[in-house]
Chains A and B, each alone.
Chain A
C-alpha cells in the first residue's frame, strides 16, 4: 500500500484529550455485557463436566424439562452438526465441540448441557435436575506427560500434516524454522549454555466475565449482544454453529471489561442463541468467575529447552530452542509463535527453533497478549542473562551487540524493515534506573521482547453532519481508549476539533467485516482505515468547494479544516470551512461520507526492553518488585497516555505471571484454584509505580507511523523479573511462577 503521509508536525495526534467514553465509565452508566435486559427475558445456566476426561454415556434432562420454571434445555443435539448435515469441520467444529461437549467431556468445566429458566436462581437450581452418566477416562494435564508414549489420547486424528511420524497423537502441530548451521555456530562459541524452563498456564483475568443476551427465532433471524473483542467473528461462528445465515444474525458489541485475547472467540454465545431459539424468548447468559477460569481460554503452559553459544566479546554464535506448548483439548497452542518470537530480537547467523502444539485435558487455550511469546522470551533471555553473568558482560551491551536492526534477517525468516529495538536498548542504558544503586538483597534484570503485530480485515465509515461535526463508525471494540485515538486521527485529517467527532463501535449490520481487536491492530489498522475514510470525505468536500468556486477539483487543497485554492493560479477565494460545505450538502450533491475497506499489511513489528529491580525475602521466599521501567517502540503514540497505559498494564500482567499466577490441577484433573482468592492477580499493594519511556521509530506501513503497542509489553516481564530474582536470590529460576515455595526450594537446593 502506497502511503506517502507525514510522520511529524501534527496538530491533534500526540495530544492527550479526555476519552469520549470517560463520563459513561465513571458514572456507572456504560453498558457492559451483563448490563442489559430485554422484555420477556429468560436466564441461562450451563451444566459442566466435573471430570477431566469422560465419555458421556447418557444425558437425561426430562426432570429439568418438566419443571415449570424451565423453558428450554439444550445439549449437543441442538447444534448445527447434528441438525444440519453434513455438519461442521475445521475450527468451527473445534469451537462447537468446546462450547458444548459431544461424545466426550474433555476437561473439568466442559459444558454438557444448558438451561433457560424464568430467573437466574431457577436456572441454577434446575441444573441439578439434569442427570448425566459419565464413563471416566484416564486424563493428562501436563505437557511433557501428554507427549509421552503412554499418555491417554485426547482425540485420534487431530494432528495435521506438519507432525513428524512417530509422535504421540496428542502432538497436533509441529513448527521448524531457522537459518545457518547451529552446530558450526556452537563450535565457534567460547561458552555454550543449555538449559530447560517451564511456565504454567495463566488466565487473562479480565474482570468482566463473559456475558451475552441472545434472541433467535425459528425464522433464522437473530440478535446478539455480547462482550467480545470481535463481533464479526462471533457473528460468523455463532451462525455456523446454529446453522443460520451469517447476515441474519446481527451482533452488537457491548462495552468490554477487558479481554487481552481471551474474548476473541465464543463460549456461551452459541449456547444462549440455541436456548433462545428453543424457548422463543430472549436469553441472558452470564458466566461466574469460576466458569471463566474453568471453561474459557487460558494461555498455554510450556516446557522449553534452550541452547545458546556466545563468544567472550558477547557475540551470539548460535541459538537453538525447542518449545512444547500445551493448549488444552484442542489444536491451537501457539508453539509456532513461541518458536518464531523467541530469538526475533537478535541478528543471528545460526538459529534453529522447533515448536510443538500439544493437547491435554484442559480448556482450549485462547490468545493472551502476544500469545506464545512471553514464555519463549523467558527461556531465551534467562540463558542470555546467564551467559552475560558467566562471561562478565553487561546485559544491555550484549543485547545491543546482537540486536536486530533494519535489514536483519529475522530468526523466523523475513528481513526487518525499520525497527526500534536498538533505540529501546540505548534508552535503557541511558535511563537513570539502569545505573541506580541496588540495596542488599535486591537484583536487577533486563529483557528484550518482540511481537509481530497484525493488520487484519478492516472497514470504517465516516459521515459528516450538516453542522460540520462527524460521526465515525469503527468495527473494533474499544478495550483501552481506542475511540480517543480514532477521533484524534480523524481530527488530524479533517482539521476539525477532536470534540466534534463522535466515534461509535458499529454493530455487524452497519459495516463490512472487521477482524477482532487483537494482534495490537486497532490503532494501526482501524486507525489507518479512519485516516483513509477521512481523506475520502475530504476529497468529496474538496469537490463541493471546487464546484462552488467554479474551479477544477485539483485546484483545491485541504488545510486546517478548510478548502483553499491550491495556489495563486487557482483563483482568489477565502478559505471555505468544512461546516460551510456541509451546511448545504443536501443541495450540492447529497450527504458526504468517507469509507475505507482493506486488509492492511504493514503492521510493523514491535520491540521493547524492560528493566526490573526485585527483592527476595530469604525467610519467606516472597518477591517484591521495587522498581520497574518499560521502554517500547510505539512508532507514533497517537494518545500517549493510553500508550503508557498499555505498557503499564502489560508489565503488571507479566509480574503476575512471573510471580503468582498459575493454573493448579489436582491429580484428579480438576482445577483447584478457580476463584480470584486462589488465583491471585496483582493487587495495588503488590506493585510499584511503573515508569514508561515511549520510543518513536515510525512504522513505514502506517500513514502516521503507528505500530501496535498492546501486546509487546507482556513479552519481556517474565524474563526480566526472573533475571532480577535470580540475581537477588543467587540462584537461577527456571520455572514460573516464582512463587514463595518455589523460591524457598531453589534457595534450599542451592544450599
Chain B
C-alpha cells in the first residue's frame, strides 16, 4: 500500500511525514516525529493517555488517522511548557504529587489544559466529568482533581 505525504503543524513547528493510511495520528507522532509524550494505553479511545488537541479540540490521537492531520494545528504534551517555564498545571501536578507512575500524566495535562481554556472556573463535578475520559490507575484521581482546581483558582487570580 502506498504511503501518503502529510504536512502539519505540531506544537507550532511545521512537520512532514509519510504514513500508511492505516496508521493513527498517535503512531505518526510517536514513530515518525519521535514525540513519545502521548502514550498508547488502549488504542480504542478509552484511556485518554494519547490525548492531544487538533485545531483546539481535545481528541484521542489513537482514534484519528495520521493522514487526517494534514493542514491541522496539533498540540501535544511536549508543547505545554513555554521554553523552560512550566505551565501552571505542570507545576501544580508536581507539587501535589498528582502523578504516581506518570503514564497517564501527559494525556491528563493536555485534557486539563483544554478544560481550563474552556472553563476557567470548573466545579469539582465538572472537572471530574471532563477528565472522565482519562484513566489513571494509581492515584484514585484525588490529587489530580485538587491540582487542576487549584491551578484554575491561581490562574483566575492572576488574570
Give chain A's interface residues, CB within 8 Å of chain B: 16, 18-19, 21-23, 25-32, 34-35, 37, 120-121, 204-209, 255-260, 286, 288-289, 479-481, 641-642, 644-645, 648-649, 651-653, 675-677, 681-687, 689-690
Contact = CB atoms under 8 A, between A and B. Distances in A.
Given A649-B137, A652-B140, A684-B141, A289 B103 contact: no
The 8 A-B residue pairs with the shortest CB-CB distance in the complex, in nearest-first order: A28-B37, A257-B103, A652-B140, A25-B102, A676-B46, A22-B94, A648-B140, A28-B77
A481 B97 contact: yes
B36 A31 contact: yes
Given A34-B40, A289-B44, A649-B138, A26 B93 contact: yes
25 contacts: A18-B94, A18-B95, A22-B99, A26-B105, A28-B38, A28-B76, A34-B30, A35-B36, A121-B22, A204-B137, A207-B49, A207-B135, A209-B40, A257-B101, A289-B43, A642-B97, A648-B140, A649-B139, A649-B140, A652-B139, A681-B135, A683-B135, A689-B142, A690-B140, A690-B142
A28 B138 contact: no
A717 to B, nearest CB: 11
Interface string B21-32: 011000100110
Contacts of A16: 97
Interface in B116-152: 125, 127-129, 131-146
B80 interface: yes
Given A27-B80, A28-B106, A645-B143, A256 B94 contact: no
A653 B106 CA distance: 21
B58 interface: no
A25 B43 CA distance: 21
B90 A26 contact: yes
B33 interface: no
A745 B51 CA distance: 39
A684 B128 contact: yes
Nearest to A677: B46
A684 B77 contact: no
Contact of A648 (B23, B40, B135, B143): B143
Interface of B is mostly: loop
Contact of B37 (A29, A205, A652): A29
A288 to B, nearest CB: 6
A676 B43 CA distance: 10
A27 B81 contact: yes
B90 A27 contact: yes
B74 interface: no
Interface residues of B, number: 60
B43 A288 contact: yes
Contacts of B145: 684, 689
Contacts of B46: 675-677
Interface of B: 20, 22-23, 27, 30-31, 35-44, 46-47, 49, 76-78, 80-81, 86, 90, 93-97, 99-106, 109, 125, 127-129, 131-146
A656 to B, nearest CB: 9
Nearest to A713: B140
Contacts of B128: 684-685, 687
B37 A207 contact: no
B103 A19 contact: no
Contacts of B134: 683-684
B100 A481 contact: yes
B139 A648 contact: yes
B105 A641 contact: no
B119 to A, nearest CB: 15
Contacts of B104: 207, 257
Given A207-B135, A207-B137, 7 more contacts: A16-B97, A34-B39, A208-B41, A480-B100, A481-B97, A648-B140, A676-B46
Given A28-B77, A480-B138, A683-B132, A207 B41 contact: yes
Given A25-B105, A26-B109, A27-B90, A675 B42 contact: yes
Given A479-B100, A676-B46, A684 B127 contact: yes
A207 B102 CA distance: 10
Contact of A207 (B38, B76, B136): B136
Contacts of A690: 140, 142
Nearest to B89: A26
Contact of B100 (A18, A205, A289, A649): A649
B44 A676 contact: yes
B100 A28 contact: no
A128 to B, nearest CB: 14
B102 A30 contact: yes
A258 B137 contact: yes
A368 B44 CA distance: 24
Given A35-B36, A685-B129, A651 B140 contact: yes
A255 B102 contact: yes
Contact of B78 (A28, A257, A685): A28
A739 B70 CA distance: 44
Nearest to B23: A121
Given A27-B37, A256-B101, A480-B138, A685 B132 contact: yes
Query: Which of B41, B42, B100, B140 gathers the greatest number of chain A CB atoms within 10 Å?
Result: B140
B43 A207 contact: no
Contact of A687 (B31, B37, B140): B140
Contacts of B76: 28
A675 B31 CA distance: 23
A564 B41 CA distance: 54
A550 to B, nearest CB: 47
Nearest to B108: A684
A261 to B, nearest CB: 12
Contacts of B127: 684
A685 B128 CA distance: 5
Contacts of A206: 101, 103, 137
A207 B103 contact: yes
Contacts of A651: 140
Contact of B99 (A26, A32, A209, A653): A26
B42 A289 contact: yes
Contacts of A479: 100-101, 138
Nearest to A480: B100
B44 A258 contact: no
A19 B94 contact: yes
Given A25-B102, A207-B47, A208-B103, A652 B41 contact: no
